[in-house]
Amino acid sequence: MQSLILSAALLTAVPSFADDTRREVVHFAPGSSSSTIKSSVRGYQTVQYSLSVTAGQKMSVQLDSKNSSLYFNVTAPGADAAMYNSSIDGNGTTITIPSSGKYLIDVYLMRNAARRSESASYDLTLYVE
């Protein structure tokens, strides 16, 4: 009986890492080809922006924050891995879009900052031409 109670206590002590992703669709204002989004993340939260882009267009992404542990990934439609990772390549890029569809831009804190439950305010500027 004691081992059953101990097992139950251990199971309830394990933290839950549920999907903490906020999803938003980006629409540019009529006549505009850019948008700056002001938002924030905390801990393990991710904000996932989706943006429809046509093959051959250029998409620029710029992430500005005072928190140096804040990054973004860009993932092509249907891809399993990011085509751009700002933790490796820097917080600004311009990508020539290889295929039409919804591209995902995930904004997140690195694990060391997320573990400390840091928060980060940011400006994410998206531009498509």
In a domain, 54, yes or no: yes
**Residues near 74 by Cβ (< 8 Å), separated by ≥ 6?**
59, 61, 82, 83, 84, 93, 95, 103, 104, 105
Task: Tell me which amino acid residue 51 is.
Answer: L
In a domain, 111, yes or no: yes
In a domain, 1, yes or no: no
Instruction: Give the number of other Cβ atoms within 10 Å of residue 91's Cβ.
Output: 17
> H-helix or E-strand containing 86?
helix 86-89
| CATH assignment of the domain containing 86 | 2.60.120.380
Look up the domain containing 56 and give its range.
Answer: 18-128
Confidence of residue 15 (pLDDT cuts 50, 70, 90): very low
In a domain, 121, yes or no: yes
> H-helix or E-strand containing 42?
strand 34-42
In a domain, 86, yes or no: yes
pLDDT in tens, 42-91: 999 999 999 999 999 999 999 999 999 999 999 999 999 999 999 999 99
Domain tally for the chain? Answer: 1
In a domain, 4, yes or no: no
Q: Are 117 and 42 in contact (CB under 8 A)?
A: yes
Q: Are 48 and 105 in contact (CB under 8 A)?
A: yes
